[in-house]
Amino acid sequence: MRIALAQLNFVIGDFEKNSLRIKESISKAKSNQASLIVFPELCISAYPPQDFLEFDDFVERCNKIAQEIAKECTGITAIIGLPTVNPEPEGKNLFNSAAILSEGRITDVVHKALLPNYDIFDEYRYFEPGRNPHSVVIDDTRIALTICEDLWNIEDDPMYVHCPMDSIINENPELMINIAASPFSYEHRDQRQAILLRNVRKYSLPLMYVNHVGAQTQIIFDGGSVVYDKHGNMLHEMNYFREDIQYFEFNKDTGNITHIQGERSYPVPSGKTERIYQALITGISDYFGKLGFKKAILGLSGGIDSAVVSVLAAHALGSENVRALLMPSAFSSEGSVKDSLELVKNAGISHDIIPIEPAFQLFRESLAPQFGDLPFGVAEENIQARIRGLFLMAMSNKFGYILLNTSNKSEIAVGYGTLYGDMCGGLSVIGDLYKSEVYELAAFINSKKKTIPQSIIEKAPSAELRPDQKDSDSLPDYGILDQILYQYIEKRKGPGELISMGFEKELIQRVLKMVNTNEYKRFQTPPILRVSSKSFGSGRRLPIVGKYLS
């Protein structure tokens, strides 16, 4: 049996486009003599559809599209993912399902049994778990068809009380197929492949796995669909961050799979930083493309964060579609402006210079009756940041740009940013990168083409909102701060555990207090492109009012 795996980039709720892509892929697979083509989880609606699933019309249209696609399936069988209605009065109204399309109709349906309800996942909000995992027969081949999480309960510390494959294996399947929507994080590829390999070794069956690719706002899918033989050998790993269709021959008599057509056009990202780079390029490109926008604007300060974001935007959108606004204050160094001008030249992006000092003085004059003789402080610093935000949003509104936020994860974590100032924007590009990781990304970018001036990389970080200001005036050294934040946020280490790791108690209490008391700021930030296992946003839900320090 010749099997095609279709790793495609879908748009949430764009039924016309999604169905067209699926139909075109079916037609292409038929012309290549495939007997079966497999698409990812919830491909009809794209993943995650979230509360669109609460609209009856949305679900009805998904199922209507499935019926239309089924008509294309003559001489070929397709497996697609979609929400289906639970006919029983008990339980949730919907299933997360895989439908088998053959002979012009839907011939079988399998429901997802294990519904993830952690981190960014919220499937139990919408779906009822499938209670009857079973194999399906396609072209006389018995297939253990599962959906994403159904293969993930094989770890040493299982999250669920049962494993669907333990039931399906009793039906003597000859092949495992898993359709998935498995989001990217920089360490997830290795975890995912380890889980898949453990299933192959446990059940002694070959496995074909197909994943989404592309970005849906903050959630990025890296593709990387993969095929293993029954001995655990990886036969083929499909492209990362790009659409791909590959063809395989499955011999049911021997259980062997042969890769017969299609090549991986691009190398697998070689390490953490390259994976992050490609993920962010995908995230920016799809955010703009799927919203129908083309041009971006950002504030360029002469610091490392805005420098990295400007280069990423130029790579994702084309340098001709990126505009930088240089807004020096009375406290900006001459080097900051000079470095920014060198960067825009290297990156090939356009720029404008609007000094903020005249506007700042007008604000101070207007507030003089209220502020009186009170000393210059945080209020005056934040006014400057908000003037910059105002100028950027004015340009965004006037010319139709999307404003890119340039705050990093370290700053967002401890509240080192100004609401409605440097924290505004339509998309946070590096909000899931700690400051140290931003420097690593800058080095990676320059290893390909020296774009970011070395002086930007070497200078001490500063907001330049008061005389001789440095980030280190208010924050611990980023090398130490990032270690603490990583252990607290990604690894969920509590105060006592952090102290036992060797960090000073006073430092831990200071840092965690900053993190916890600034949840209200993070609640109002733009969506953050997720590249780690625990990003700010829907994957990390903490109370705005709460204490957890000792």
325, 300 contact by CB (below 8 A): yes
Tokens coding 225 = 């669909």
* Residue 419 C-alpha from the chain's centroid: 24
- Which residues make up the CATH 3.60.110.10 domain(s) of the chain? 2-261
State mean pLDDT over 330-349. Answer: 92
DSSP, residue by residue, 451-497: -S-HHHHHSPP---SSTT--GGGTS--HHHHHHHHIIIIIS---HHH
Whether the pLDDT of residue 221 is over 70: the answer is yes
Tokens coding 187 = 């360490």
Whether the pLDDT of residue 195 is over 90: the answer is yes
Q: What is the pLDDT of residue 181?
A: 98
Q: Which of 125, 484, 456, 531 is nearest to 301 (CA)?
A: 456
* Nearest-angstrom CA–CA distance, 26 and 68: 13
State mean pLDDT over 61-66. Answer: 97
Tokens coding 1 = 């049996």
State mean pLDDT over 247-269. Answer: 86
DSSP, residue by residue, 154-187: TSSS-SSS--HHHHHGGG--SEEEEE---B--TT
Q: What is the pLDDT of residue 441?
A: 98
Q: How far is CA 499 from CA 213, 494, 511, in A?
A: 40, 9, 12
Q: Is 148 a catalytic residue?
A: yes
Beta sheet of 402-405, edge-to-edge order: 350-353, 322-326, 296-299, 402-405, 427-428
State mean pLDDT over 234-255. Answer: 95
Q: What is the pLDDT of residue 456?
A: 95
Whether the pLDDT of residue 262 is over 70: the answer is no
- Token match 């039924």: residue? 15
Q: Which of 121, 128, 49, 125 is nearest to 95 (CA)?
A: 128
* Nearest-angstrom CA–CA distance, 160 and 133: 15
User: The whole model's pTM is what?
Assistant: 0.95
Q: Is 339 helix (H, G, I), strand (E, B) or coil?
A: helix
- Which residues make up the CATH 3.40.50.620 domain(s) of the chain? 274-471
Q: Catalytic one among 41, 72, 274, 411?
A: 41
Among 3.40.50.150, 3.60.110.10, 3.30.420.40, 1.10.10.10, name the CATH number for the domain at 2-261.
3.60.110.10
- Asked which of 289-298, 387-396, 455-464 is least confident by mean pLDDT, the reply is 455-464
Q: What is the pLDDT of residue 468?
A: 76
* Nearest-angstrom CA–CA distance, 20 and 527: 29
Rounded to the nearest 10°, the torsion over CA 330, 331, 337, 339 is 180
Q: What is the pLDDT of residue 151?
A: 96
Over the stretch 410-436, which tens digit does the pLDDT of each residue have? 999 999 999 999 999 999 999 999 999
Q: Which residues in 343-410 belong to E strands, given as ranges?
A: 350-353, 402-405
Q: Which residues in 58-172 belong to E strands, given as ranges?
A: 77-85, 94-102, 105-111, 136-138, 141-147
Whether the pLDDT of residue 462 is over 60: the answer is yes
Q: Is 216 helix (H, G, I), strand (E, B) or coil?
A: strand
* Nearest-angstrom CA–CA distance, 53 and 51: 5
State mean pLDDT over 367-395. Answer: 96
State mean pLDDT over 447-456. Answer: 96
Q: Tell me the percentage of the chain whose pLDDT exceeds 90.
A: 89
Over the stretch 2-42, which tens digit does the pLDDT of each residue have? 999 999 999 999 999 999 999 999 999 999 999 999 999 99
State mean pLDDT over 65-78. Answer: 97
Count CB-CB contacts under 10 A for residue 178: 29
Q: Catalytic one among 43, 62, 73, 112?
A: 112
Q: What is the pLDDT of residue 88?
A: 92
Average model confidence (pLDDT) across the chain: 95
Higher pLDDT, 308 or 255: 308
Whether the pLDDT of residue 263 is over 80: the answer is no
State mean pLDDT over 176-190. Answer: 96
Q: Cα 290–293–296 angle (5° rounding)?
A: 125
248, 45 contact by CB (below 8 A): no
- Token match 């969920």: residue? 492
Cis peptide upstream of residue 40 (ω within 30 degrees of 0): no
If residue 288 lies in a helix (H) or strand (E), which one and from where to where?
Answer: helix 272-291
The answer as to CATH 3.30.750.24 being correct for domain 274-471 is no
Whether the pLDDT of residue 230 is over 60: the answer is yes
Q: What is the pLDDT of residue 206?
A: 98
State mean pLDDT over 220-227. Answer: 97
Q: Is the dihedral of CA 518, 519, 523, 529 positive or negative?
A: positive
Beta sheet of 244-251, edge-to-edge order: 105-111, 94-102, 77-85, 36-38, 2-7, 244-251, 256-261
State mean pLDDT over 179-196. Answer: 96
Q: What is the pLDDT of residue 234?
A: 95
State mean pLDDT over 263-274. Answer: 84
Whether the pLDDT of residue 550 is over 60: the answer is no
Q: What is the pLDDT of residue 264?
A: 62
Q: Catalytic one among 43, 62, 148, 163?
A: 148
**How deeply is 369 buried, as exposed, middle or buried, from its count of CB atoms within 10 A (0-12, 13-18, 19+)?**
exposed
Q: What is the pLDDT of residue 333?
A: 83
Confidence of residue 439 (pLDDT cuts 50, 70, 90): very high
